[in-house]
Amino acid sequence: MSADRHSPAVQLARRMLINRETGNPSRQQPVTLLLGPVGSGKTTALEAIRRDLGWGVVHAGFEFGQGGKAGTIDVLTKLAYSFSNKWRNRPKPQFVRFTLALIAVQAELPGRNRDEDLAQLKVLINSFYGIFWTPAMDRALKTLTETATAIGLVEPPYAELFRQTFPHLVRNIRRRLDKAAVRSLADFPNAEGRSPYDALLELNRLAHGNARDGKAVTEWVMAAFLGDVRANHPRLAKPEEKSPCTCDLSQQRRHWHNWVVALDDVDHAGGTEFLADLITARERYAVQHPNDREAHDALLVVATSGRWHEDWGTAWLAPWKPASGAPPAVRPMVDCEEASYDDWANVANGALESPYYPVRLSSQSIGRIARVLDSGALTPKVALAHRATGGLPSAVEQLSKRLRASEVREGDRDLLTTDPHAGPDPCYRRLAELGLTEHLDDVSLDDFVTAAPFATAPWLIPDAAQSRIDQPHVGRILTELRTALWVTAKNSAGTTEDQAALHPWIAANLVSALARRGDGPTYTDQFTALRDDPDTAQDPVRLAYCNLALGDIDAVVTFFEREFNRIPHADWVAKLELVLNAPDDLPPGRDHAELYDELVNLDNARSPADRSEIRNNVARLIAAGWLTANPFAVRGQDQHQVIANAFAALATTSHRPDVGALVSAKELARRGEFP
């Protein structure tokens, strides 16, 4: 529990809990989206939030993707059921409007005579009110729930859930008929000024026969649900003394809480449709009731998604797009630690720009990884796990057993690319667990491995590029990796256009699998195709990246030697860092020291006889940096020192006044933070 309370997602939920300060009107609430790729801990974060809310904050949840598409009414029924449970020291919520709307929708009426239908509907509704529950009521409920499935009110996979939850909602309102609630059901455009029961009759007509209009029924039922939230919320809004909530108490602000809706995996069938229906209903009510102090309902929606949806991109910058090219009105996302209500509302500019609030889930910290591995935070195995996985929780868990049982030596390169037991290539196995092909027809995991050079390149191949790359499925694979949140833009001083990064866990596994694959296009074939692409040829940094990936170290050393005194050293270091992160297909069984000597000697053999001191140091820097940058290689202090010494020597031979960038890079290398 204590670990939950300090997680970034839990802290974000606490910051978002205030619905209003006491005495003020309600304020608009966002749909907060916790985004991360497969294995990033989205469900774990949502569970931690719900545990932290405990009994102190009214909350409910729904998990999409449990078999078949969930309709909006399926979700609302489950939420209403959970909300209307007993909350400690508080009155029990009653979803009168919502339940009456569902009864009206499910009623089987003759449809021959309006007065007859109206009378029958009134009798049906009133039959559920009374102090004692009777067998006749059970029979009537069974008939209604059967009708719900027959008319398509609920989706077939969720019919059983509806049969379990709907009777609870009816029993919860049986004490007395809330006339105000009935009247409010007529407050909807489709009612067209009718009386309340006439409005319910119209709702029934929209659900049955030739006049059937599922969209209008969903809109009406959603409005009824939100009406119940507005009616119930003030009675359950005050934080309980000594409850799990401690939000903003340091500021001594007397406030009312939101209710929280926790939705897991909204990228699965029905999830984004539900969010769109909710937002449409909210906006409609706010427009129709501009002077209502309760115009904004008190639902804080916290949802998780493993994919980006196009609806979010109208106001928020997709994570793979650089901020430098974004329109002024489109805002970049923030991490969980930086997210807040004020950031979403953009209070500084006085405008609420989007009903959605996408935020990035934080990666696992080194401290947390150390606890998983039962090791000290500064040990080589923890550093290896952190670099190789990029803090992806599921990947850390996968490696934990292997790393706990292994002796991790500085300079090792094969610890994560070999399996001591017989079986499939571990890189292929890890990739298979990421569900990369789930949303792509006719694309195999092997196609992803073949496309590894194009996917792992630190830039985005333009959609309109006239490319020589003639590879199957590359465009679809790149689009899928972006949509599945594996690609992140480098929103800092870039060294090449559209600079971005594929997550290190998937990138390292893709390249390692390609380098050791027996059949199909080879590592060399594919990186040669990327090198020979016109867009690569026009950018010398991209070209150097591809040359290094192909092992052409002397060409790369020549480029950086030539640039050393021609451009600002800060730019030189930034370009160098990008290029050093090129992958390699060097034998993983050979250790760092052996390969380092071989690379330096290779440049010596191929370079001009009159080598400069600058070239000598650049060659050492590139050889050591390239080997060290491999996410699956175990770093060591000796390697860091070689890089630091090379930067120090270059600083003394520079002809430029801005050697501070070289000195800073030296200090980063000494601490093991470069490249």
pLDDT of 533: 85
Q: Are strands 299-305 and 31-35 parallel, antiparallel or unpaired?
A: parallel
The region that residue 370 occupies, defined by phi over 0 for left and psi between -120 and 50 for alpha, beta otherwise, is alpha
pLDDT of 465: 55
| Higher pLDDT pick, 46 / 421 | 46
Q: Which stretch of DSSP H or E encloses residue 180?
A: helix 179-184
The vertex-410 CA angle with 405 and 415, nearest 5°, equals 45
pLDDT of 205 higher than 60: yes
pLDDT grade for 653, boundaries at 50, 70 and 90: very high
Provide φ and ψ at 493, rounded to 5°: -60, 110
The percentage of residues in the chain with a pLDDT greater than 90, rounded to a whole number, is 63
CA distance 305 to 485: 9
pLDDT of 320: 92
pLDDT of 49 higher than 70: yes
pLDDT of 184 higher than 80: yes
CA distance 244 to 56: 6
pLDDT of 251 higher than 90: no
Q: Which residues of 127-152 are buried (b: 16+ CB within 10 A; e: fewer)?
A: ebeeeeeeeebeebbeebbebbbebe
pLDDT of 165 higher than 50: yes
pLDDT of 605: 87
How many distinct helices (H) and strands (E) make up the chain? 30, 10
User: How far apart, in Å, do the first and last CA atoms of the chain sit?
Assistant: 37
Average pLDDT over residues 475-492: 90
Provide φ and ψ at 343, rounded to 5°: -65, -45
| Higher pLDDT pick, 518 / 478 | 478
pLDDT of 1 higher than 50: no
Token digits of residue 69: 């598409």
Half-sphere exposure of 580 (CA within 13 A, CB side): 23
Average pLDDT over residues 420-436: 85
For the ranges 66-75, 276-285, 415-424, 425-434, the lowest mean pLDDT is seen at 415-424
pLDDT of 493: 61
Average pLDDT over residues 568-585: 96
pLDDT of 2: 45
pLDDT of 507: 97
CA distance 362 to 337: 8
The type of residue at 646 is A
| Higher pLDDT pick, 464 / 114 | 114
Average pLDDT over residues 397-426: 86
pLDDT grade for 353, boundaries at 50, 70 and 90: confident
Q: pLDDT digits over 588-616, tens only?
A: 999 999 999 999 999 888 777 778 999 99
pLDDT grade for 337, boundaries at 50, 70 and 90: very high
pLDDT of 651 higher than 60: yes
pLDDT of 69: 92
If we measure between CA atoms, which residue out of 412, 408, 415, 417 comes closest to residue 592?
412
The type of residue at 108 is E
For the ranges 189-193, 361-365, 517-521, the lowest mean pLDDT is seen at 189-193
pLDDT of 21 higher than 90: no
Mean pLDDT computed over every residue of the chain: 89
Q: pLDDT digits over 262-283, tens only?
A: 999 999 999 999 999 999 999 9
CA distance 29 to 8: 20
CA distance 316 to 563: 37
| Higher pLDDT pick, 328 / 338 | 338
pLDDT of 173: 85
CA distance 62 to 264: 6
pLDDT of 250: 46
pLDDT of 237 higher than 80: no
The type of residue at 321 is K
| Higher pLDDT pick, 358 / 499 | 358
pLDDT grade for 140, boundaries at 50, 70 and 90: confident
